[in-house]
Amino acid sequence: MLQYDFEESVGYWITITSHFYQDALNQELIPYGITFRQFQVIGWLVYEGPLSQVELADRMMIEPPTLVRILDRMERDQWIKRENNLEDRRRKVVKVCPEAKTVWSQMVACLKQLRKKATQGMSAEDIDTLKSLLMQVQKNLGVNVSEYETA
């Protein structure tokens, strides 16, 4: 009764696999002296261009006060800078420092290498299948189970 069959749980597989992936990614990031969250900040800014802090916090799915200190550390280490927005003086716009962009492209190369490693021996169909199954799980978790049960 007490026992829970972890090894038969999707959650368990996903969690463990993600853990492995995180560890591998962190290993790649260590040489750059950057954390996963900092990496994410740069990624979003490169991807979407300069953003305000609320916008960035929203995309990272964290609270603004949490972001503040992440950005403090990144500003200290010259990865990003905060600029006052002239139209709306409450806002600050976060931008990636030019030097960070060079490092970013190196990190992208590492990422692609890691992705290649992770999907070794898998066909394009396998990868597609994996993606769609994970998407399904994500979608399932986003909705309320009761809505499904009554349907």
Partner DNA sequence: GCTAATCATTAGCCAGGCTAATGATTATGG
Partner DNA sequence: CCATAATCATTAGCCTGGCTAATGATTAGC
What is the SS3 string spanning 63-111? CHHHHHHHHHHHHHCCCEEEEECCCCCCCEEEEECHHHHHHHHHHHHHH
- The distance of closest approach from Cβ of residue 26 to DNA in the complex, given in angstroms and rounded to an integer, is 10
Asked whether 13 and 6 are in contact (CB, 8 A), the reply is no
Q: What angle do helix axes 10-29 and 36-48 make, rounded to 10 degrees?
A: 80
Element holding 31 (H helix, E strand): none
Q: Which does 89 bind (CB under 5 to 8 A by kind): DNA, a second copy, none?
A: DNA
Residue 11 to residue 31: CA distance in whole angstroms: 31
- 84 forms beta bridges with 92
Select from 96, 47, 37 the least CA-distant residue to 70: 37
- The distance of closest approach from Cβ of residue 84 to a second copy in the complex, given in angstroms and rounded to an integer, is 25
- The distance of closest approach from Cβ of residue 116 to DNA in the complex, given in angstroms and rounded to an integer, is 25
Select from 118, 129, 106 the least CA-distant residue to 18: 118
Pick the piece of the chain touching a second copy (CB under 8 A) from 9-17, 49-57, 75-83, 85-93: 9-17
* Residue 140 binds a second copy (CB under 8 A): yes
- The distance of closest approach from Cβ of residue 109 to DNA in the complex, given in angstroms and rounded to an integer, is 21
Q: Which does 150 bind (CB under 5 to 8 A by kind): DNA, a second copy, none?
A: none
- Residue from 25, 37, 110, 114 touching DNA (CB under 7 A): that is 37
- The distance of closest approach from Cβ of residue 54 to DNA in the complex, given in angstroms and rounded to an integer, is 4
* Residue 98 binds a second copy (CB under 8 A): no
Pick the piece of the chain touching DNA (CB under 7 A) from 61-69, 116-124, 130-138, 141-149: 61-69
The two tokens of residue 138 are: 């994500």
Interface residue list for a second copy (CB under 8 A): 1-4, 6, 9-11, 13-22, 24-25, 43, 46-47, 61, 101, 104-105, 108, 111-122, 126-127, 129-131, 133-138, 140-142, 145, 148
